């Protein structure tokens, strides 16, 4: 059984490995990259990595064969040389981490398949060893339901059992995708393309979208999330290649490290809080509540005035009858006209809304000059 981070070539019970055809490897890697939604530079890097792994594998087989021939020659000339056994050679090819459910299962299966292809595993070998890289309940599900002989069929079974996603839910995943300006744009577009392709594959054959339609949907989604200048340029050019989209957004977003959508959300939250504060500060009291509050203050001032009856004042306040000038009354509401209601045809002590009249029942007070 192979270790989690490496791959051991088949033992003597398994047919000897053959050198890989680099053209076939390049073609398979290109197909896998397209299925993963990779384009341009990212696609070329994936293909080149697969070819490099295949070349290393072929070189290792050449080295093993040369060692075996050298060992055989040494034995014929009675020289003692260490034998090289093909089944004991370990090829260092990093396999994916055990699947624990923390990532998307379909994405993890693609990584597993691509790495296994680079190691030269056939479909049966990939199916047999899949369970080695599944943790806990995922291994139990694989052991119970997988064929362990057909990798493609086992992938369908595992996805249906462990990660079944209805058509509408897949579309919702696409609609909820967001780009915050910090994630690599090419990675975001590849993820959007993969999810939309998954949604399209679940539709009936007569209702499936064309590739051009899906490209337009992805472009429209990108346009809705980029800054204004890039938005206008994308609408004008309507690019179809990922490289062109990335270039346009990069050209019109020099501050790529700033998350535009995040800033917009922060501005909205701050504006909402500011509006609430302003509303609380400027909200007028209801007329009844204001009158009640003013009456309580008048009564308090009158009580204080009653406690000093021996004192005489030249003029009492026209609002609360206190010992201060009307213009200095703490209950004054306006700075001009009537200090109580703002009217220009009377003064505070003659105001129809005078609180002193309501509290004392005195409806006729002399109107001295001024308020």
What pLDDT does 284 receive?
Answer: 57
Torsion angle (degrees, nearest 10) of CA 171, 101, 25, 214: 10
Coil/strand/helix, residue 340: coil
**What is the gyration radius of the CA atoms in the chain, in angstroms?**
41
What pLDDT does 366 receive?
Answer: 47
For residues 371 and 339, the answer to whether their CB atoms sit within 8 Å is: yes
Nearest-angstrom CA–CA distance, 298 and 287: 16
For residues 252 and 227, the answer to whether their CB atoms sit within 8 Å is: yes
Instruction: List the pLDDT tens digit at each of the 371 positions of the chain.
Output: 444 444 444 444 455 677 888 888 888 888 887 777 777 777 788 888 888 888 888 888 777 777 665 555 555 555 545 444 444 445 556 778 888 877 778 888 888 888 888 888 898 999 888 888 888 888 888 888 889 899 988 888 888 777 666 777 778 878 888 887 777 888 888 888 888 887 888 788 888 888 888 888 888 888 888 877 888 888 888 888 888 888 888 877 655 444 455 566 667 777 777 777 777 666 555 555 666 777 777 777 767 666 555 454 456 787 787 777 877 888 888 878 888 788 888 887 788 877 666 555 544 444 444 45
Q: Which residue carries 């055989």 as its tokens?
A: 72
What pLDDT does 368 receive?
Answer: 44
- Report DSSP state, residue 283: P
What pLDDT does 167 receive?
Answer: 75
Please name which of 243, 305, 288, 314 lies closest in space to residue 41, comparing C-alpha atoms: 243
Q: Where are the beta strands (DSSP E) in the chain?
A: 7-8, 90-91
């Amino acid at each position: 059984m192979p270790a989690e981070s490496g791959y051991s070539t088949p033992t003597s019970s398994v047919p000897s490995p053959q050198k890989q055809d680099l053209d076939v490897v390049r073609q398979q890697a290109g197909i896998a990259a397209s299925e993963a939604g990779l384009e341009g530079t990212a696609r070329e890097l994936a293909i080149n990595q697969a070819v490099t792994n295949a070349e290393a594998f072929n070189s290792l087989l050449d080295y093993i064969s040369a060692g075996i021939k050298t060992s055989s020659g040494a034995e014929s000339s009675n020289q003692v040389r260490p034998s090289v056994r093909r089944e004991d050679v370990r090829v260092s090819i990093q396999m994916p981490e055990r699947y624990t459910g923390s990532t998307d299962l379909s994405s993890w299966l693609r990584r597993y398949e691509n790495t296994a292809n680079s190691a030269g595993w056939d479909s049966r070998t990939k199916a047999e060893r899949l369970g080695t890289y599944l943790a806990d309940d995922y291994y139990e599900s694989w052991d119970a339901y997988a064929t362990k002989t057909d990798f493609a069929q086992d992938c369908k079974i595992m996805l249906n059992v462990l990660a079944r996603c209805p058509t509408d839910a897949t579309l919702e995943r696409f609609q909820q995708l967001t780009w915050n300006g910090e994630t690599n744009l090419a990675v975001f577009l590849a993820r959007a393309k993969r999810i939309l392709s998954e949604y399209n594959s679940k539709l009936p054959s007569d209702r499936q979208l064309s590739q051009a339609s899906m490209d337009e949907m992805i472009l429209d989604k990108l346009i809705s999330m980029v800054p204004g200048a890039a938005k206008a340029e994308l609408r004008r050019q309507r690019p179809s290649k990922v490289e062109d989209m990335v270039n346009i957004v990069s050209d019109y977003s020099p501050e790529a490290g700033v998350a535009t959508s995040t800033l917009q959300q922060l501005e909205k939250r701050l504006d909402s809080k500011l509006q609430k504060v302003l509303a609380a500060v400027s909200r007028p009291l209801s007329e009844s509540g204001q009158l009640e509050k003013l009456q309580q203050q008048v009564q308090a001032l009158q009580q204080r005035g009653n406690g000093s009856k021996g004192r005489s004042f030249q003029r009492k306040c026209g609002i609360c009858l206190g010992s201060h000038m009307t213009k200095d009354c703490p209950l004054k509401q306006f700075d001009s006209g009537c200090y109580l209601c703002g009217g220009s045809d009377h003064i505070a002590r003659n105001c129809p809304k005078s609180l002193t009249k309501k509290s004392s029942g005195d409806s006729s007070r002399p109107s001295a000059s001024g308020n």
